[in-house]
Amino acid sequence: MISLKILKAVLKTATVENKDLVLKELISHIGNNYDYNNKRAEHIIEMLIDEEVVVTKDKINLEWIEQHPESLRYSHDKYNFRNFKVDSVDNIDCVVRVKYEYIEKINEDRDAVSYTDTYSNVSFLDYPEILK
């Protein structure tokens, strides 16, 4: 990952025209990929206007995630889940990375089988309830 100090230095020296060009290219890139109803592009534009719409870890409703495992995994009813944690937020792809552990219910009573660490990305566009 690029150092934030380097990014700040580049942003200070970049011209307004270059910043505009990069933003237009970013929006174009998102539009060329999957962006149903331009929701991701709209989120970027909203973030430019209002910093309050930038989704951060503290804006995630972890309790909702725990109560809705269907947002994490296909066939969620075959698993037990525990130790949910918000790992990161991606405001470009509009997803929250949630780390958790799971075990198949069929194996829950076996001593030789333990919980597996994994993560899932949950879209806050598809599941706006994930936000406080």
Helix 16-32 to helix 39-49 angle, to the nearest 10 degrees? 160
DSSP β-ladder status, 95-104 and 116-123: antiparallel
Same domain, 63 and 39: no
Same domain, 36 and 24: yes
| Reported confidence tier of residue 1, pLDDT bands at 50, 70, 90 | confident
Same domain, 43 and 29: yes
Q: What CA–CA distance (Å, rounded) separates 99 from 85?
A: 5
Same domain, 71 and 45: no
pLDDT tens digits, one per residue of 14-39: 999 999 999 999 998 888 888 888 89
pTM of the entire predicted model: 0.83
Q: What CA–CA distance (Å, rounded) separates 115 from 15?
A: 51
Number of domains in the chain: 2
H-helix or E-strand spanning residue 117: strand 116-123
pLDDT tens digits, one per residue of 71-125: 998 888 889 999 999 999 999 999 999 999 998 888 777 877 788 999 999 999 9
Structural domain of 27: 4-53
